[in-house]
Amino acid sequence: MMKQNILPFKLLNSNELITANSGLMIYLEMYKGLKFDKSIRELFPKPGSAKGFEAKYYVLSIILLFLLDGKYIEDVRKVKLDRAMRKLSKLKTVPTSDAIGNWMRNDSEQKIQAIKKLHRKFTKRFLKLVKRKEHILDIDAFQIYSDKEEANYSYKGEKGYMPIAAHLADLDWCIAYKFREGQISPADDNLEIIQESFNNLPSDHKIIAVRSDSASYQAKIFNWLDQKSVKFTITGAEKGSQIIKEIEAIPQKEWKRLKDKNGVFTDRTYAETYHKMEKTEYFRIVIQRWPNPKKDLFGEERDYCYYIICTNYSLEEKTASEIIYFHRGRCNSENYYKETKGGFNLNYLPCGDFKANAIWFALGLMAYNFHIFTKECLLPKSWRKKTISRIRFELIHIAGKITYHAKQLYLNLAGISDEVFYIFDQARKRLAKICFQT
């Protein structure tokens, strides 16, 4: 008789309360301990009927979907089917994917503003827990590609959306954002996002410097930051010929070889001068240059390529080379977007409705900030560079079984080391201390 299976076991469909996502309980305890339910009840519109679900069920279900690596609305099934996790967290209701879609499309503008206010409260609560009080702000726009019929073409000639976000560089925290149509110029809304970032800070925190690409090369931004006595390094735009003429007028003897951080000479040279826009005072510009590799091929007139950094740092505050390396720090923005688009699947949007997509995007960033809060406040310092993918592998996706003993509810963790068990336990204790003592 031919065997039906290779290994000697049979399958049973168990009704035991077992979860593959025990680590989610840390995030759920954070949600409960920081009283998100109360804030959502106060900020969001009420259900349209007595049978409607409260907003908290939609908000929490979507955040959990993102934390579990969900990409589509239908992935909310991962949350719904995890009976053990729902039992522990007292999550009585998980809306269906259709219900979530309808919820995002109804009263959208009210919900967009409610999420903004919720985000501001969460940000202030988080920043009150960190020791650093002075921050560097990085802002940048990025494109989300979409083949939806309603999506618009960007300046790159591709369909999609063009959100902009601001992060506190020292914490990786997303402090402000705006979801935008694809045809919007990256230069739009930059000052608004900077101002929103300042407004989202607790009173004892301040932003001491702003870094941005050439989208922020705007007189109104330079003047506003100067009035606030905030330093900036902003990539200069090679608009017109005047700034290039000023650069080419710099004497050859003033160009210096640029060294890397190890003190090794690179193929670039640098110099500095001053420039002004029509509605600004003179500001300092630091220029890097290198031989133009396309000069012969395309008959370019310039001998060099230039990279321009505009700044209000004085010579005494930062040397030209220090400006260059400080400004390069904004390249970490690519890591923020790699994490939000790749780690939290925000490279995908669920529908053609712009405002519904804005809600989806905003709650995806909320889940991202849940991740940052957990790393910064609850987990060991050695875990702070871990991506969400790594956190899922090492912490979130831990098998656990619910049992009762002497009227006590237990979550029995399985398949982990003593070290990870200790980290899990300490995270819960740190969270309890935060929630009960602040």
CB 127 within 8 A of CB 201: yes
Q: Is the pLDDT of residue 299 over 60?
A: no
Among residues 174, 116, 115, 184, which one has the least CA distance to residue 144? 184
CB 148 within 8 A of CB 354: no
Binned at pLDDT 50, 70 and 90, residue 213 comes out as very high
DSSP secondary structure code for residue 331 in this structure:
G
CA distance linking residue 341 with residue 326, whole number of Å? 25
End-to-end CA distance of the chain: 69
Q: For residue 168, what pLDDT is reported?
A: 97
Q: Does an H or E element contain 244, and which?
A: helix 242-248
DSSP calls for 15-57 = -S-EES-TTHHHHHHHHHHTTHHHHHHHHSPPPSSTTSPPHHH
CA distance linking residue 438 with residue 433, whole number of Å? 8
pLDDT tens digits for 230-265? 999 999 977 666 888 889 889 999 999 998 888 888
> How many CA atoms are closer than 13 Å to the CA of 332, on its beta-carbon side?
19
Q: For residue 244, what pLDDT is reported?
A: 85
- Residue range 337-343: average pLDDT? 91
Q: Is the pLDDT of residue 438 over 70?
A: no
CB 271 within 8 A of CB 250: yes
CA distance linking residue 225 with residue 217, whole number of Å? 12
Q: For residue 305, what pLDDT is reported?
A: 87
Percent of the chain with pLDDT over 70: 97
CB 428 within 8 A of CB 26: yes
Q: Is the pLDDT of residue 295 over 70?
A: no
CA distance linking residue 153 with residue 207, whole number of Å? 34
- Residue range 372-397: average pLDDT? 96
CA distance linking residue 279 with residue 282, whole number of Å? 10
Q: Is the pLDDT of residue 297 over 60?
A: no
Give bridge partners of residue 138 from the DSSP assignment.
167, 211
Mean pLDDT (the chain) is 91
DSSP secondary structure code for residue 117 in this structure:
H
DSSP secondary structure code for residue 334 in this structure:
H
- Residue range 301-324: average pLDDT? 92
Binned at pLDDT 50, 70 and 90, residue 291 comes out as confident
Q: For residue 281, what pLDDT is reported?
A: 92
CA distance linking residue 438 with residue 435, whole number of Å? 6
Lowest mean pLDDT among 27-31, 81-85, 303-307: 303-307
| Neighbouring residues of 183: CB distance < 8 A, sequence distance ≥ 6 | 152, 153, 154, 155, 162
Binned at pLDDT 50, 70 and 90, residue 155 comes out as confident
| Residue 93 one-letter amino acid | T
Residue 313 C-alpha from the chain's centroid: 27
The pTM is what?
0.93
pLDDT tens digits for 90-112? 899 999 999 999 999 999 999 99
Dihedral of CA 19/25/27/31: which sign?
A: positive
CB 68 within 8 A of CB 80: no
